[in-house]
Amino acid sequence: MHTVEPVQDVQVKLDEIVAMVESARAMPMSASCVINRAELLGQLDELKELLPGEFRQARYLLQDRDEVVAEGRREAERIIEEAQEERLRLIDETDLVRDARAEAGRIIDNAAEEAAGMRREVDDYVDTKLANFEVVLTRTLGAVERGRDKLRGRREVHDLDDLDDESPLPDLDEPATR
């Protein structure tokens, strides 16, 4: 940055010229005044010498200001661009999360349907196997009952044979005696 001192010098010179005009002797019956020409011209020459420096400093200040403004604009544009990229990234992430949740929901629904179908298939399979087992058990139970009935039938025949041995039956070959 450049120094501000020449601005004060110009201001001082202008204040001196204004004071000179204000303190100048007035002309009677007129708005004119009497001013020392050489003194005023000297003050104006000094002011002219200061002004180019002032203009240079003003140009430097304007150039500095323009550079600062341009840098500020570049920084603002960079920040805006980063913010837009971040916004798009967040939107993409939001879309990804929403899509992922939707896909997860679909997968869970499909898995639940598949599990229910498998459960029905397993229940049908087990029911079929139990029905077959029931048929086998019923046949086995029938065979057991028939076997027991057969055993009972033999026992009854055997019991009858035992009864016959205890009370002898008449021999049919021998003549009956009365």
Going from N- to C-terminal start, the domains of the chain cover 5-127+141-147
Does 121 have pLDDT greater than 50? yes
Q: What is the pLDDT of residues 60-89, one digit of tens each?
A: 888 888 888 889 999 999 999 999 999 888
CA distance 57 to 64: 10
Helix (H, G, I), strand (E, B) or coil at 33: strand
Residues 6+ apart with CB under 8 A from 10: 47, 50, 51, 54
pTM higher than the cut 0.75: no
Centroid of chain to Cα 37:
82
- What tokens were used for 123? 């229940």
Residue 141 is predicted with a pLDDT of 92
